[in-house]
A and B are shown apart, each in its own frame.
Chain A
Amino acid sequence: MSLRERAREGRLPNWAVRTLALGRREVLRVVRRPKNTVLPPIVTNALYVTVFGVILGARIGDTAGVPYLQFVIPGLIALGTITQSFQNASFTLFHGRWEEYVESVVASPMGHREQVTAYLLASAVRGLAVGLVIFGLGLVFSEIPVRRPLVAVAALVLVVTLFGSLGIAGGLWADDFDQLTVFNQFLIQPLVFFGGVFYPVSDLPGLVETVSYLNPMVYIVSGVRFGLLGQAEVSPVVSLGVLAGASVVAVAAVLALMARGYGLRD
């Protein structure tokens, strides 16, 4: 009997019931508190889009062969999705450890795979929802094509998997909320900003361009941009390949940490 048939009959296997229960709790936490979760990035991105689309966009002119807003939207989607999926997983684990309510998950029959799946699902929902809203904001001011939808979806799903996993690791590791802020503000944000969100990396002078390709964010931004615009600096095979490789490593690492009870058990 397929999972869906069983679900219809209300006979989901226990592991699915447990995973969905945790995933549900995680998503509800976000939905119930939009002011603290999804509204801030929406406001920030509305400002970005207004400034780049209406005020600066006209002066900058075409970039990499497309209007500037079209060029920048995929980058903003990548940035928003990365930040939100990371924040969701890292906050929930850090806060749950801090206030110890994560114990009701840890001291339950949930296995480590189920827990990781639930946290990743919730991070994906939040990351992708914000990405979608940013896409919508772009549509308000310009036409945003989706030339390679499969590439776009694959890139974004890998992004939320990768950064949801990094968020879980961060949330398990941090002893103090500032450590997570540091990680986000001083590592993720700068890397994304220098990862070709606002300018084509190929416009940079030789050495700087070469160094830029060491920045993993370049592949992410490029992957999303290719999905929407049908063109980007890095070929989609390479960007999706790098992203997929990094995601696999990150998920495996997080599964290992959870199985050991890292940060959760004495």
Chain B
Amino acid sequence: MRTYTVQRVPSVSGRVRTGATLLSCLASVLAAGLLLALLGLHPAALGLQVLHQSLANRYGLEDLALLAAPLAMCGLSVSLMLRVGLWNIGADGQFFVGAAGAAWIGLYGPSWSTLPMLALMGAASMTAGAAWIAVPALARLILGTSEIITTLLLNFVARLGIDWLVTGPWRDRASSVTAQSPRLPVAIPKLPRDWHLGGMHWGLAVVLALACVLALAFRFTRWGYELRICGANRNAASYAGMAVNRRLLEAMLLAGAVAGLGGMLELAGTVHRLQSGLSNGYGYVGIIVAVLAASSPLGVVVTGVLMALVLNAGTVLQTQGVPSSAAVALVGLILLSAAVGERLANYRLQRIPPAPRPGQAA
């Protein structure tokens, strides 16, 4: 007779971990399909429709890219801090504040030509995002306050601040919409038409370039190595003579700047006006993007696209009478099963050797 037992193994290779993540994504999509089937819909047909609408024509691809870009920026921001073992729950707030910084330059700044103007707006957004996380960062380093709570709370402050700006001082008085700023005089140019990405703007290239730069920096610089050690064991990092607090501060400020830049790209590339609907919870989905990618910058690009696909599916489902919150539920389901999958990757099913005949042991 054969019996099996479940056994924990102390460490798993990266490949096994990636496989576990992929399997759990698949499992949650299947579970979602099952739910849809129970609702009397045809999950396979719906799935095909989602894929068709998102991938098979230029408008679908454009939508996908437009959604994936901010998700990837927030994902990069979160993964920067994950490198040193810290959680950035506040990418959403930094995204908004970055957009506000860029809008301020766009509306009230100099009137230069497009490129220098965009560069200045980018710099302003990064400064604003970094400044927004500076308070939680310093609180963490000086007082030991948990950055999870402080960065999260500042999201609400940021959102309320934007609400106030766009209904008050920066409100567009020429339009009948009460909660948005005037249209910015500059916009990020569109990609060439024959690239088949529809009306996607050059911000996409910025996202990809940033992901590549971060990936190279993590792997091929001393700074990246130091971040890795700081994330794995801070005692060992300071024993080895690294400036641990400085590295943590740099990672946090940079994370804020990246999320802020994401806000600027969204503002100047897609929305063109500051408004409180600028981020659709991108900062929060960014956490999932980073976790699924195991905080690898290139992985973030992939998982960003995946999450965009899931959110797009929500739009398609809406046309079938499924509430739009279904997509959010699916995102949650994916995160949940990825977390479970990561734990389970540590376990193996193992055959127990047959019991000895009585007397053999004596």
Are A and B bound to each other?
no
> Which residues of B are at the interface with A, using a C-beta cutoff of 8 A?
none
